[in-house]
């Protein structure tokens, strides 16, 4: 058989084979991406999430931030006991505004709330707070 007679078909055929090979090359990478790339993306996202969580819940500035609770109300209304990274605070005779300030500040600080008791006595509030970080 004289192949030269069919050189046009052969050229198109080899170009077609090249295209098919390239297609499988792409598919191979997509397959790899599905298996490994997704895992890598997941690992990276997990790591980013962990770093973000650590930044929030292991923030070195938390001690300073929690100390600010004391100055939100007059000192006579607070009994403050701090041991390392734990605080027991007792707020007495708080007005609604003062209570709002303390509650809001506490909730916006990244501490683990172990006890959070609010009690209405006549027109004032008492707040018992126990937290750690």
Partner 1 sequence: MENTKALVLVHSNMNATDITAPVDIILTPEFYTVKRESLPVQYTYQAKRIASSLFNGLLESTEGYEYFVSKDDDKWLFIAYNMEEIKKFLISKNINIEYISKVYFAEQMVESFNVPIVLDDKKALVNLNGTAVVVPLTALKDERTVSTVKKHNRPKSGISIGTSNSFLTTKQSLYLSLFFILFSFMFIIEGSRYGEDSHIIKKEMNLLLEKYPALQSTYTRKNISKKYKNIDQKERKKRNLVKIFSTMIFKGVKLVSLEMDNKKFHVVFACEDASIVKKLKELAQKEKFHVVLPVEKNNLQIEGVL
Question: What is the x/- site pattern for partner 1, positions 107-126, by CB under 8 A?
Answer: x--x-xxxxxxxxx------
CA 5 to chain centre: 69
Helix (H), strand (E) at residue 49: helix 38-57
Q: Two tokens at 11?
A: 């050229």
What does the angle CA 57 – CA 60 – CA 72 come to, to the nearest 5 degrees? Answer: 90
Nearer to partner 1, 75 or 123 (CB): 123
Neighbours of 107 (CB within 10 A): 10
36-75 binders of partner 1 (CB under 8 A) = 36-37, 40-41, 43-44, 46-51, 53-54, 56-58
Does the protein bind partner 1 through residue 2 (CB under 8 A)?
A: yes
Give the position of tokens 């098919």.
Answer: 20
Binding site for partner 1 (CB under 8 A): 1-2, 4-9, 11-12, 14-16, 18-19, 21-23, 25-30, 32-33, 36-37, 40-41, 43-44, 46-51, 53-54, 56-58, 103, 107, 110, 112-120
């Amino acid at each position: 058989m004289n192949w030269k007679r069919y050189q046009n078909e052969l050229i198109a055929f080899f170009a077609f084979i090249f295209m098919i090979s390239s297609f499988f090359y792409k598919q191979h990478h997509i397959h790899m991406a599905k298996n490994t790339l997704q895992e890598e993306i997941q690992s990276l996202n997990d790591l980013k999430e962990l770093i973000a969580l650590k930044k929030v819940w292991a923030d070195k500035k938390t001690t300073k931030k929690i100390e600010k609770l004391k100055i939100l109300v007059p000192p006579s209304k607070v009994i403050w006991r701090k041991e390392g990274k734990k605080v027991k605070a007792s707020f007495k005779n708080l007005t609604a505004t003062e209570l709002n300030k303390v509650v809001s500040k506490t909730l916006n600080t990244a501490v683990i709330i172990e006890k959070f008791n609010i009690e209405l006595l006549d027109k004032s509030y008492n707040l018992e707070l126990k937290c750690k970080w």
